[in-house]
Structure 1
Amino acid sequence: MRFLLWFYAVDNYGRFLHRKAVLQRLKGWGKDPLAATLAIVEFVGPSRFSHWSPLTGEPVGKAHPQAWVQVAAVSRDQTRNTMTLMPSLMSDELIAAYGIKPGIEVIRANHGRQRLEAVTSSYRALEGARSLLHVHRPE
């Protein structure tokens, strides 16, 4: 819980306090389910600052309209550990609400405007537009 609170912490202007995070734990700890959940939240969830609640003073989130999330690893087998968890973490209601089109290596939502994909190679070498979240599995 502490990791997630710091990961999404914002300053008084709603800007993220941290742009990078590393979570290293032993095998079997549950990193893949946590990474898959974070990927789904960034993909379609309210993961960006919208405004401060006038009632509670807490930050209120909104979804990124063109979210692009990448699960990166050296091989497809490594991305599979995280990607195969995605369908079981998405309810039928979530899939219907966002028009999610599940796939093996690419999952799209909102008529293709949002995408969650498995990629290989070094995440630093990936080209193209800047993604919102990289879930990187080391060698």
Structure 2
Amino acid sequence: MSFLKDIIDNFSSIFSDSAQTEKNPSTGAMDGEGGVSTGNERTAYKLKGYFDLAKVEIDKAVRAEEWGLPDDAVFCYQNAQSILAEAVSTPVPSYIASSEMEKVQSYRQKISKWQGQVAERLQTLTRRTGGSSEIKVWKALNDL
């Protein structure tokens, strides 16, 4: 009999805690440790946005390379590089929930990896097109 009474008491305490949380949300479950709500989930979303924008530019650059448009590819890679550089410079708040910090670190690793690959590809393309781009500019200036 006391076993059933303990179960009922546990359920009633759970329901009274949830009712208290609904009445006073400041005492309810919080995002951060120690009962401090951070509101810093935006950092991970911001990095994801930068990452997605850079991917779009990289896709354009790859397509331009496939179509034989190296100057356009260089332009798109430079856009991607500036987007990734801005992503790297995005500050991370001093306090952030551990789950959000994992997301931020994951995106930072991806961004860093892609930044290196874009820089390498851009360097290769500018070496290839450097002479041809200069010749095109020189011819355009002489035609004026």
The TM-score normalised by the length of structure 2 is 0.27
Between structures 1 and 2, the one with greater helix share? 2
Between structures 1 and 2, the one with greater strand share? 1
The structure with the largest alpha-carbon Rg is: 2
The TM-score normalised by the length of structure 1 is 0.27
